Amino acid sequence: MPALEQLPACPVETTLTLISDKWKMLIVRDLLDGTKRFGELRRSVGNVSQKVLTSNLRQMEADGLVSRKVYAEVPPRVEYSLTETGRSLRIVVDAMWRWGEQYKAGLASVRHG
Amino acid sequence: MPALEQLPACPVETTLTLISDKWKMLIVRDLLDGTKRFGELRRSVGNVSQKVLTSNLRQMEADGLVSRKVYAEVPPRVEYSLTETGRSLRIVVDAMWRWGEQYKAGLASVRHG
DNA sequence: CTGCATCCTAGTGGATACTG
DNA sequence: CAGTATCCACTAGGATGCAG
């Protein structure tokens, strides 16, 4: 977890520091559907390299947004899910979802007069 | 304005493409308070270089989020404000604001037991 | 004051190969 | 399958100087 003192004063900036990496919001979006294995997540997120996905997940784990569960199996199985805090990001994802839809609806209506 | 077809299918991704640059959400945050001059905006946003702020503003203008008004004065005066669409980003900024506050409150309570 | 143009740096993110 | 280790490319972003 980051130290409280080193987070920006502005709450908006705090949020940005935690989730503005290229894939983090998409990871949250997908994990809101429930626990996923690494490979599964990688496919659903889109065009992420394995290295970058791992790195983003590690940071999110350190920030208390994601939890990681390793099963002692062969082949290995690792499952990722959102923590309580991670799930609370739903309000942000939802806001983005709604805004994105509105925006595209706006474009479409302009287009068709 | 971007072409509808070239935006991602997922509304969340659409939103991200439009506002995930380093400073854009902060620009929105600050312009929600009302019209601002370039220099004023630069100071309120924080540590942005002039070039980058200009570039972000130009993109946001092209995306229909910001409008730019130039006054024929010496010295020049340029004012930026949010368009209707830009103002509708308030729901996203608000969600981020609330989440950031919660997050910090959580850190504080853990800290103090 | 605002805005270009130029140059330069840093760091994210991608490709690949290899391990447990 | 998941992860680590390199190596590399790219470009967002910063610094500076000049112009209208």
The pTM of the full predicted model, rounded to 2 decimals, is: 0.94
Cα of A3 to nearest chain B Cα, Å: 8
Number of domains, chain B = 1
Q: Which residue is nearest to nucleotide C15 (CA to C1')?
A: A49
**Angle at CA of residue A77, ends A73 and A82, nearest 5°:** 140
pLDDT at A47: 83
Subunit contact A15:B100, Cβ cutoff 8 A: yes
* CATH at residue A106: 1.10.10.10
Q: pLDDT at residue A7 above 80?
A: yes
Is pLDDT above 80 for B113? no
Contact criterion met (CB below 8 Å) for A62 and A24 = no
Q: Which residues of A15-35 are buried (b: 16+ CB within 10 A; e: fewer)?
A: bbebbbbebbbbbbbbbeeee
Contact with chain B for residue A103, Cβ under 8 A: yes
Residue with structure tokens 């068709």?
A112
Q: What is the pLDDT of residues B18-62, one digit of tens each?
A: 999 889 999 999 999 999 999 999 999 988 889 999 999 999 999
Looking across all nucleic acid strands, the nucleotide with the smallest C1' to CA distance from residue B41 is: C2
Q: Which residue is closest, via its CA, to the C1' of C5?
A: B51
A residues 45-64 lying closer than 8 A (beta carbon) to B: none
Q: Residue A103: which of B85, B102, B110 has the nearest Cβ? A: B85
Q: Which of A13, A26, A102 sits opposite B26 (nearest CB)?
A: A13
- 10 Å Cβ neighbour count for A2? 16
Measured CA to C1', the nucleotide nearest A49 is C14
Residue B111, pLDDT > 80, answer no
Supply the pLDDT for residue B3: 86
Structural domain that includes position B96: 4-112
Identify the burial level of A10 via C-beta atoms within 10 angstroms of its C-beta, where 0-12 means exposed, 13-18 middle and 19 or more buried: middle
Nearest to B85 by CA among B55, B53, B63: B63
Query: What does the pLDDT read at residue B110?
Result: 80
CA of B66 to C1' of D18 (A): 28
Per-residue pLDDT reduced to its tens digit, A52-108: 999 999 999 999 999 999 999 889 999 999 999 999 999 999 999 999 999 999 998
Residue B91: what pLDDT? Answer: 97
- What is d(CA B100, CA A65) in angstroms, rounded to the nearest whole number? 13
